[in-house]
Amino acid sequence: MKLSHLIAAAVAGLALTGAAHAADAAKAQALIKGSDCAACHSPDTKLVGPAYKEISKKYKGQSVTDTLVKKVKAGGSGNWGAIPMTPHPNLKDEDVKTIVEWILSLH
């Protein structure tokens, strides 16, 4: 295979990955908007709970998606201070996973 074909295939793959990531980001943001997440969190600023980017920074490079999904569903305190996070047992696991993966992708 020619180098130009390999480069073209790599660029196409990256474009598709970028499009998928953008779709996941849009879905995560829509899920956040439809829940009560924004009452305590924002992307850049600590409100009641930590900023999404602060969460991403804390867990960078760690495999914590499943742990954080459980934490969002169960709620609790201790990780970010004394104020507990409200449990969200009615959110679907796959929706929480979409939100958590988006948060962890922020920098």
User: What's the total number of domains in the chain?
Assistant: 1
Q: What is the pLDDT of residues 45-101, one digit of tens each?
A: 999 999 999 999 999 999 999 999 999 999 999 889 889 999 999 999 999 999 999
Amino acid residing at 15: A
Which DSSP string do the residues of 29-70 spell out, in sequence order?
HHHHHTSSGGGT--SSS-SSS--HHHHHHHTTT---HHHHHH
pLDDT in tens, 16-51: 344 446 569 999 999 999 999 999 999 999 999 999
Report whether 35 contacts 100 (CB < 8 A).
Answer: no
Q: Give the domain CATH number at 59.
A: 1.10.760.10
Domain residues for the domain of 83 are 3-105
pTM greater than 0.95 (yes/no): no
